Amino acid sequence: MATTRRHFISAAAIGGMSLPGMPAAMQTRVSPNDRIRIATIGIGGMGTGDTRSSLANPGVELVAVCDLYEGRRTRAKEVFGNHLFTTNDYREILDRKDIDAVIIATADHWHAPISIAAMEAGKDVYCEKPMVHSVEEGNAVVAAQKKTGRILQVGSQRVSSIVYQKAKDLIKSGVIGELNMVEAWWDRNNAIGAFQASIPPDASTSTIDWERYVSNTTSRPFDAARFFRWRCFRDYGTGVAGDLFVHLFSGVHFVLDSTGPERVYASGGIRFWKDGREAPDLLLGLYEYAASSTHPAFSLALRVNFQDGTGESSGFRFIGSDGILSIGGGVTVARHPREKEPGYTIETFSKSVQEQFLRDYRQQYPVSQPVADAMRPERTEEYLPPKGYSDHLDHHRNFLTAVRTRQPVVEDAVFGLRAAAPAVLSHVSYYERRVCQWDPGKMALQA
């Protein structure tokens, strides 16, 4: 019977990170001179969550918010205080000299334009994933970060997680042998998870700046579903791949120090949520990674299903020659050492050939006498983070630390593009029914 060994990951030991409930003496102390004044552009569900995570850090003050829906601007004041400056024009945020950094949590089609404008205005940027709406936008964001020297961090929190750092360390130690395949998935089984966001009863052109919303894409008559359920539509969102595959790519790339795949292929369809959406609710992706200095060549399989009947779940399996490392709430390593003998199938050979085969086989693999000392347990090891641990809080903490210290972040514009590109190309592959060729080093599409 297999034995299980449990280990508990110490957040403080792995990065000096503070946690809910950590003694005050161990929390980061911030001088009044180090106060960071932030603004949030796009104060919907994700923008509100990002704002709360930033404000959970000492020395952070919310100064202003921008949103195209009047109701969210009103709600921001109800939640964060009447002192807030609110606007429907993000340029008014960028013009303010008292704002150090912005959180960008708009619909995907505004991520790159606002990120570039913010960095050019001297602001540091926390941009929700995916960093871009199309791969063609990516190098402009990279160039803007390089030119301005601003901090840009993309919002895929796995790169700040002590769980993923532990997985990275274990794989580097050779615990699963030589990697050959990775599987990852993110399944959901409810309407909200499947992008059916609630539409407020006052949604109209009098409460929503629709013309500004569509000003960088196709001009259309007002449609509340396209505003509040934007992930379902190609003009504004990147669907399953940009919303969820990008998290999976970020996790894989961080754990393996990978720059990304060379080939992208995706298939799926609208199987259940037939509500007028354009994005599939089931998507399967296959990706080929070339060998690099940090990993051998391997294949990646991704899946998102919005009606799998099991609730919401996500995870990874890194499959190697000597074991499997899985990531869920923690890290689990199940070892399966290679057989010492390959075995044989010689029953259909003639008797004389069988005898010759066995002589040669036993010369290479002698029969050994079993002894008690040779018996070893089949072990499964589990590494768990502290109770209440939040990688989302750590991700914002890392961003704010970079704002103060001017030290680079892991998930900068280059990392963000290398995670976003195969994600958005998955939708290109799905819609155009073709394999997409991508050069992760040059960050460019190949003919």
pLDDT per residue as tens digits for the range 343-366: 999 999 999 999 999 999 999 999
On the question of pLDDT at 102 being above 70, the answer is yes
On the question of pLDDT at 22 being above 60, the answer is no
Average pLDDT over residues 399-418: 97
Average pLDDT over residues 331-351: 91
Neighbours of 402 (CB within 10 A): 20
Q: Give helix 413-432 / helix 246-256 axis angle, nearest 10°.
A: 130
User: Are 260 and 440 within 8 A, CB to CB?
Assistant: yes
Distance between CA atoms of residues 173 and 54, nearest Å: 34
What pLDDT, on the 0 to 100 scale, is given for residue 19?
A: 38
On the question of pLDDT at 150 being above 60, the answer is yes
Average pLDDT, the chain: 92
Q: Mapping DSSP to helix (H, G, I), strand (E, B) and coil, where does residue 172 land?
A: helix
Q: Name which of 269-273, 310-314, 405-409 the model is least confident about.
A: 310-314
Distance between CA atoms of residues 196 and 228, nearest Å: 8
Distance between CA atoms of residues 26 and 24, nearest Å: 5
On the question of pLDDT at 374 being above 70, the answer is no
**Residue 11: which pLDDT band, with cuts at 50, 70 and 90?**
low
Q: Name which of 135-149, 165-179, 244-258, 360-374 the model is least confident about.
A: 360-374
Q: Name which of 2-6, 55-59, 299-303, 329-333 the model is least confident about.
A: 2-6
On the question of pLDDT at 377 being above 70, the answer is no
User: Are 130 and 108 within 8 A, CB to CB?
Assistant: yes
Average pLDDT over residues 168-185: 97
Average pLDDT over residues 184-210: 96
Six token digits for residue 265: 């292929």
**Residue 17: which pLDDT band, with cuts at 50, 70 and 90?**
very low
**Residue 310: which pLDDT band, with cuts at 50, 70 and 90?**
confident
Neighbours of 52 (CB within 10 A): 15
Q: Mapping DSSP to helix (H, G, I), strand (E, B) and coil, where does residue 307 land?
A: coil
User: Are 109 and 218 within 8 A, CB to CB?
Assistant: no
Of the ranges 187-196, 368-377, 396-405, the best mean pLDDT one: 396-405
**Residue 23: which pLDDT band, with cuts at 50, 70 and 90?**
very low
How big is the chain, counted in residues? 447
In the chain, the N- to C-terminal Cα span, in Å, equals: 53
Residues 6+ apart with CB under 8 A from 334: 323, 324, 326, 380
pLDDT per residue as tens digits for the range 58-68: 999 999 999 99
On the question of pLDDT at 45 being above 70, the answer is yes
